[in-house]
Chains A and B, each alone.
Chain A
Amino acid sequence: MKLNLNKAIYSLEATQKAAYRFIDRVTILIEPATEEWLCEIEPIAGHEDKFNDHIADFKRELLDQQLRKQIKEETQDVRNLILAYTFSRTGLQE
C-alpha cells in the first residue's frame, strides 16, 4: 500500500518517528518526492489481518508526532532556560 504525505503538513522527523513506532507491525519505506513523502507500507508476517487497523493507527500517530514536534519547537527556549537554571552552580558542566 502507498500513502502520500504532504511535506507542507508532515515533517520528515514526524513521519520517521511515527513509522518507527509501528516497526513491529508494518514496514514503512519513506521516499522523498517534490512536494510529498511517499510511504510504501507492508504488513509484517502475522499482522496481515489487522493491516487496515494499523494504517488507521499510523495516520493518527502521524498527527500526534507532528503535534509533539510543534510542542518541542515552541518550548525549546524555555526548556533550555529551565535546564540552565537546573544545572547552574552544580559543577557538572565542563
Chain B
Amino acid sequence: MTKFSPLVEYKATQGQYQLLPFKFEPLDDHDVVITNYVGEFAFISREDLEATISKKLDPNSKIYSLLRSLHFIKEKGDEASIELLGLKTRTKYSKLRNFTNLHIFVVTLRCDHSCQYCQVSRQSENKVAFDMTITWLKKPSQSSSDRRTLPSKSNSRAVSHYLTSISSSTSYSGRKRSTKLKTVIFNL
C-alpha cells in the first residue's frame, strides 16, 4: 500500500476550470496580450486564447500552469485566487483611503506678477469679481447636494477681502485639520 495516490489523482481533468476576469488585445494576427486589473499579463497565441475561453486547455500544458499562476483561470477549490486578486486590487487602490491629499485655496486671481510657472489666469487688480467669497470657501466641505446651489458668479468684494479670505482660509482649514485628521500646510 502506497502512502500517496497516483499522480493522475491530483491532476485536473480537462474543462474543469473557471475563468477569472481578464481583458485581451491583439498584438498582430497571431498573438494577443491578456491582462487583468491587478496588472498581471501574458502574451499568448490566439489559439491558446480561444482554447482558454472554450475550456479546452490541457491541464498538463505550460500555458495552463502560466494562466493559473497569474490568476487568469482557477480550478474548483482555488479560493486563494479570489482572495489574492482582492488583496492585490485592494493594495492597488489603497490611495483611495487618503482621498484628495492636497487642497489649494485660490482666494483671488488678482495679481500684478506674471510668473511663468503659475497655473492661474491672472486678472487685473480691479477685477474683484475673481475673489473667492467666504461662502465659496466653505463649499468643498459641504455635501454634494449643497454644491448644486452654488451661485453662478462670485460676489464682488472690496480689495480688503483678499486678506480676509486668506485669514479665514487658514483658520477654517486649521479647524478642519483638527476634526478631519488632515495634514494642512500653508504656503503663502
Contacts and interface: CB of A to CB of B under 8 A. Distances in A.
Interface of A: 60, 64, 67-68, 70-72, 74-75, 78-79, 81-83, 85-87, 90-92
Nearest to A92: B96
23 contacts: A60-B26, A64-B26, A67-B53, A70-B53, A71-B19, A71-B21, A71-B24, A74-B19, A75-B20, A75-B22, A78-B82, A79-B21, A81-B82, A81-B86, A82-B21, A82-B86, A82-B89, A85-B82, A85-B83, A85-B90, A86-B86, A90-B96, A91-B97
Interface in B16-54: 18-24, 26, 49-50, 53
A86 B92 CA distance: 10
Contacts of B82: 78, 81-82, 85
Contact of A71 (B22, B87, B90, B93): B22
B70 interface: no
Contacts of B86: 81-83, 85-86
Contacts, number: 53
Interface of B: 18-24, 26, 49-50, 53, 82-83, 85-87, 89-90, 93, 96-97
A68 B24 contact: yes
A71 B18 contact: no
Given A60-B26, A75-B21, 20 more contacts: A67-B24, A67-B49, A67-B53, A68-B24, A70-B53, A71-B21, A75-B19, A75-B20, A78-B20, A78-B21, A82-B86, A82-B89, A83-B89, A85-B83, A85-B90, A86-B89, A86-B90, A87-B90, A90-B90, A91-B97
B75 to A, nearest CB: 13
A60 B29 CA distance: 9
**Main SS of chain B's interface residues?**
helix
A79 B82 CA distance: 9
A41 to B, nearest CB: 20
Nearest to A70: B53
A4 B19 CA distance: 31
A70 B55 CA distance: 13
A90 B97 contact: yes
Contacts of B87: 85-86
Contacts of B22: 71, 75
9 A-B pairs with least C-beta separation: A85-B86, A86-B89, A75-B21, A79-B21, A86-B90, A86-B86, A82-B85, A82-B86, A75-B19
